[in-house]
Every structure is written in C-alpha cells, then in structure tokens.
Homo-oligomer: A and B are copies of this chain.
Amino acid sequence: MGTLSELFAPDRVAVIGATAREGSIGRAITDNLLADFDGTVVPVNPNYDEVLGLDCVDSVGEADADVAIVVVPPGIAVDAVEGCGEAGVENVVVITAGFGETGGEGAARERELTEVAERYDLNLVGPNSLGVMSTTKMMNATFGPDNALPGNISFMSQSGAFITAVLDWANDEGIGFKDVVSLGNKAVLDEADFVDEWGDDPDTDVVIGYLEGIEHGREFIDTAREVTQDTPIVLVKSGRTEAGAQAASSHTGTIAGSEQAYEAGLDQAGVLRAEGVQELFDASQMLAGQPLPDSDTVAVVTNAGGPGVMTTDAVGESELRMASFEDETLETFGENLPEEGNIYNPVDIVGDADIDRFESALDTALGDENVGSAIVLSAPTAVLDYEELAEATVELREKHDKPVAACFMGGDSVAPAADVLSEAGVPNYFDPARAVESLDALLRYKRISEREYDAPTEFDVDRERAFEVLSRVEERGDNRLGVEAMGLLDAYGIPTPQGDIVDDASDAVAVAQDIDGDVVMKIVSPDILHKSDIGGVKVGVANEDAYDAYEDLVTRARNYQPDADIIGVQVQEMVDLEDGVETIVGMNRDPQFGPLLMFGLGGIFVEVMEDTTFRVAPVAESEAREMTREVKSAPLLRGARGRDPVDVDGVVETIQRLSQLVDDFPAIVELDINPLVALPTDGGDGETEDDRGVAAVDVRLTVDPDALAHPEADEEPAEPEPETPEELEAPEGDTR
C-alpha cells in the first residue's frame, strides 16, 4: 500500500456509479463533491454521457483519477474495484453495502474484494462506508448531508450515522476537521492505517475516533505508541459492557474481544479513551488548541464562590491538583482583591468584579511558577462583559503560554464570548466539571507523550523443552495440562518448587529423599479437578512415609473414579505459604489483542474482590512492574500490616518470562500460575537473611494442539515443517 495522503488530497476523483437520479447515493455523492471540491469530479457510468452537467466516461480507465468512489450495486462492485486496479487508481472508497455485514454471500464477496485490493496493492476504504472527507481541498466524498469545516482534528468512525450526527453538531459549534473517514467494514484499511497516516500529517493535531472493534490489536498498539509521542489520539470504543459488546457484535458482525483487553491495549497504546460523545469532543477541543502544561497544578480564578467549590471538587477527582500560590502571588492578591474575596486557590474575586479585576487576577495567577494551567470561571453579573473577559482570557493565555479552560456559565448570553474563545482555541464549558476533565485529559496526554517504551527483555530460555511439554497434549487427547506441565515453567526459568511427578512408589521415595524436609504429595490426573475433596493431597509427608503415601493416594483416586486417567503423583518441596504472599499470574488469548496477561493476589483478592490488572503481551520490565503496583492489594506485597515485604522483583520477572512464553507459543490458549508464592525478602522467620524468591506451586493451561508449532518453525521460514498450519507460524499480533 502506498501512502494515504493522496486519498485525502486528490486532483481528480472518479465516481463509479455516478447518476443524477434523485434520492440515490450516486447523486448525493456527486452533489457533495461538486459543492466545494477544489479539484475535478469525473462521473463514471456507461449508461450516461453526462451527469449533472459533467462529461461522464464509460470506465474508470478513462478518468485519469487519483481516487475512485464506488457506488455501484454489490454484484458488480468487486469488478469495479478490479477496474480501478487495472487503471492504476490506487485509492478506492467503496460505499456499496451488502458485504461482510450481511453474512453469507456478502462475506464471500468481501473476501473477494480484499483479495483484489491486495493483488493491486490498493488503499481501499470500506465497503459499506459513508465515504471520506478532507478539508485540505474541501473534498466531501460522502453521501451525508453536511461537509466539515476546516480544522486540525482528523476523525474516523465505524458508524456512518455517528459522522452525520457529529458534523451537524460540530458545524454549529464551529468545530473543524482535517480529514473524516467512515471506516465501513474495514476490509483493507483499518484504524491502524489511519492512525499511522495522521501521525505523519502536519495538519492533523488530534486524532479522534469511534470504534466498535480493533482489527489487529498488537499492531494497533505498536502504531499508536509511535503516533502518540507527538499526536494525541482520543477514542470512543463501544462495547464496553456485556450488553454493549453484544450490540456491537451484531452491528458489525465481528467477534468482540474482551473489555479487559481493550482497556489494557488502548492504555498501552497511549490512547485516551472517552466514554461518550461529549467527553470525546471536550477532550479533543482542548488537545487541538492548547499547549501542554508544565505541571499538574491548576489555578481557578472566579467571581462565583459556589461554582469555585464545585470546580475544586472536580479537580480533587482528577489527576490535577489545586496549585499552591507563591508568597508573592498571595501578596498581590491581598493588595488587589476585596476583603470578602479569597486569595488562596480557588481565587474568589467576588461577584462585583469588573473586567480589570478579573484580568489582573488571572494575569497574577498565570504568572505564578507554581501554576501549570488555569480555569477562568465566571457567573453572569451586571458589571462584567463576557466578550471582554473572553478577549482578556485569550490574550493572557497567549502571554503566559499555559493551557487555559473557560467556564463562562450562562445561556445564549455567552455565545459571542464563546466565539471569541473558540477562534483562539480556548474551549468553553457550561459545567465546571467538564472544564476540569478536559484539562485533565491534556495532562494525561502530556504524560503519554513523555512515556518511554522499553523493549521486552529476552530471557535465555529452553524453547525446545517447552515445546516438548506442550506436545504432550497431542498424545493425551486432552487440551488441558496441570502440574505435569511444571517443566514448561522451568524451561522458561520460572522458579518451581523442587520435585517431580512419579508413577511408582519407590520413585516417590527417591524424589522425597532428594528434597530437604517434608514434602507435599498430590495425585495428578486430568480427570480429578478437586484433589483435596477426595483426599488427593498429603501435606508434610516425611521421606520414610512417601511410599505408603503414594499407594494411599493412588488407591483413593481409583476408589473415587475407577476409570480416571492417573498420570502419577507429584512429590514437591513444601513452600511456606504462611509467610509468603500468594499471587496469581495468568494469561488468556484475546481474539483481537492476542495474549492478555493478568496479575492479582491469590484467592479472595482475585475471586471475591476482583482486584486484578491486565496487559497485552509481550510486556517490558516496566509494564510488568506496574502490574504489581496497580492492584489495590499491592501494599501486601510491600509489607503492609507489619508483615515482611516479599520478593516483588521475582514476581515481576515471572510476569515477563510468562509473557515471553505465551508470545513464543500461540498454541497456549490460556494459562494460570496459581499460586505463585512470593516469599519474604528478609526471611520472615529469621532463619535466612537473603532474598527468598518466588515459587510457582501449581499451573493449569489449555493448549490448542492444531496451533502447536515447533519453536524453530518461524525462525527458519525457508524450511517450513509440513505439519504446521501456515497461519500459525507467527504470533497472532504479527499476522494480518
């Protein structure tokens, strides 16, 4: 695929299926293009010589176009696109519906469409798209009712109706756009492609979007990470709730990934997520027009005490803090403000404040080094002119080069002032909470732009051995593995207690004798899930009792379920659960984002308190460490309530090693290390002083045998092993 810049700024646009027929989409698009487009429109339709006064050509080959818009019926749309490919038109927007969204025949048609586009290396938007707009040349190649105003926000949407609704509103609000894309079914170009394009576009300052799904999660993360270093991205991703996900799935026909994966993935991508339309535009207006703040401190200057308190509450709920003024600032306020006022933040300049008092107070506040941003908050009064206040606000914002939000409360009387503010890129909100939320989004974006993304650590691991352990599912005819797969963890350097699985009582004694102290013995059988319930676990077994314990465990299992597949008995070193902290490190594979890692403290914390955190793998060391910090129960790892701190470094390394394992083997569908016991770092019981590490006491995983590829397979692509299905050679994230 070539660059997309030509898609948005063509000289000649062909409309394949153009017509003058009233009420038709072909007519609507041709009309819209004719209205403002600073370029040439070429109707393509063998049925006409002329359309709306333009010469009409028979085929796209005669149009010499940079972009083709396809509005022909679905039955001939693929041929039309093929015609574009043959004619060398690289950019094609397929408006036509009746593809994947209808299932069955339509889905087959969409596969054909993708195949043609790939063959000719086309930039294809759609199908089932409202179209594309760009204000660079005022091109409106959509069948919606409105064209966009020029601006610096680029906007993509998986819903065409959402675009028409937003434009109707944005035009009245004076909000402009650079490019607008209706993504349609995303048969070829998807959100990652547009994010990538707009990241390089000097005329796009903010990327916003409405998405119901993300096609290739890991690729999106990697693209968005780069873009968000310079250009903020704000997205509404719907399907957050179970009900919403169902609705999204039935609307777009795609399988919904989990909300946890989207939440983690979008955060890892540096994307700001908005919950609704209003939050989306509140944040994007702030991001589109303001410098980034130097600090998280905000000053509130107001003539209205009560709203000042409301604003302070909103600040308290955000990541911003109320600024503490320098002494000099307080002195100046003390000299200039009436006694009933408040010189501390929020600065109350009192209801009788005129423009001079307001201006001087704002100037003083913005001049304070402790102030990162400011909110100008005003109620309507007889002595204050909102337009004058707007002008002063704009001037002082520029003078101090700090972000400023306006909250001029009131109705239509605010409109002229709001226009002054809007022209200067200062957003104005009726509700103080929205002003605060938007400054908060600016602060959060600033932190994103400063992020440094480390590469995941590559540990030296034994992939061959891991493959061997995983391959056991093929012999076993069962996709689940339990403690018998502890060797998998060992192969990836994740500490496991000393021990082994034996299928003979004498071997049990031999293993027990190799272990210092008493041992734990557990029956190992894929058919016995709740070992404890049938007496399948013996704790504190002395070496000399290991033989009898083995026999007893096997007898109990046989009595419980005569036909159970008994793999053997696990003989394991006793791990001190009392002094350690039980954690869970897990993973499941998301349809969009691939391997999703989970961390939480064991037992009740995950199961009852739902105190968990997620990341899309692979993760760097810093991301793994964040996981151990951001669960609410994290203080328990670091010695809360008089306990000794445990080996958090060991937990962090385990998360990273598991990340590498599940990234290496797409065949691992889900995996839980439960518990991963983190032991006290100073010995806890006073016996040892050194770092006592972590121990993966138990593991459960599900493997997809059909997806199991030898670890060398993707490293030697010249010699693919015939038994490995091709699409599984690379980790999911790399597959398109």
Interface residues of A (CB under 8 A from B): 28, 97, 101-102, 145, 157-162, 164-166, 168-173, 210, 212, 236, 238-244, 246-248, 250-251, 275-278, 303-310, 312-317, 321-322, 339-340, 342, 344, 346, 348, 351, 379-382, 409-414, 430-434, 603-604, 607-611, 632-633, 635-636, 640-641
Contact = CB atoms under 8 A, between A and B. Distances in A.
The 3 closest A-B pairs by CB, nearest first: A159-B306, A241-B316, A172-B411
Nearest to A175: B411
A80 to B, nearest CB: 21
18 contacts: A158-B306, A159-B306, A164-B380, A165-B379, A168-B409, A168-B410, A170-B411, A172-B411, A212-B309, A241-B317, A244-B312, A244-B315, A247-B308, A251-B305, A275-B433, A277-B430, A278-B430, A608-B632
Contacts of A344: 250
Given A165-B304, A165-B410, A310 B380 contact: no
A161 B379 contact: yes
Contacts of A432: 276-277
Contact of A322 (B243, B409, B632): B243
A248 B308 CA distance: 9
A240 B306 contact: no
Q: Could you say which of A97, A242, A609 has the most chain B C-beta atoms within 10 Å of its C-beta?
A: A609
A380 B165 contact: yes
A563 to B, nearest CB: 26
Given A161-B379, A169-B409, A351-B160, A276 B310 contact: yes
B309 A247 contact: yes
A409 to B, nearest CB: 3
A278 B436 CA distance: 14
B308 A251 contact: yes
A159 B305 contact: yes
Given A247-B308, A609-B611, 8 more contacts: A102-B340, A164-B379, A168-B414, A244-B309, A247-B309, A276-B433, A278-B434, A604-B636
A313 B277 contact: no
Nearest to A250: B342
A635 B608 contact: yes
Contacts of A242: 316
Q: Could you say which of A101, A236, A411 has the most chain B C-beta atoms within 10 Å of its C-beta?
A: A411
Contact of A603 (B145, B348, B641): B641
A6 to B, nearest CB: 28
A313 B251 contact: no
Contacts of A246: 312
A409 B160 CA distance: 13
A136 to B, nearest CB: 23
A629 B172 CA distance: 49
Nearest to A172: B411
Nearest to A352: B23
Contact of A312 (B241, B312, B603): B241
Contacts of A413: 168, 172
A348 B351 CA distance: 50
A314 B250 CA distance: 17
Contacts of A346: 247
A162 B434 CA distance: 16
A148 to B, nearest CB: 13
B277 A310 contact: yes
Q: Could you say which of A157, A171, A303 has the most chain B C-beta atoms within 10 Å of its C-beta?
A: A171
Contacts of A169: 409-411, 430
Contacts of A251: 305-306, 308-309, 342, 348
Contacts of A315: 241, 243-244
A609 B609 contact: yes
A370 to B, nearest CB: 15
Contacts of A239: 309, 313
A277 B97 contact: no
Contacts of A306: 157-162, 210, 212, 238, 251
A60 B515 CA distance: 99
Contacts of A633: 604, 608-609
A189 to B, nearest CB: 18
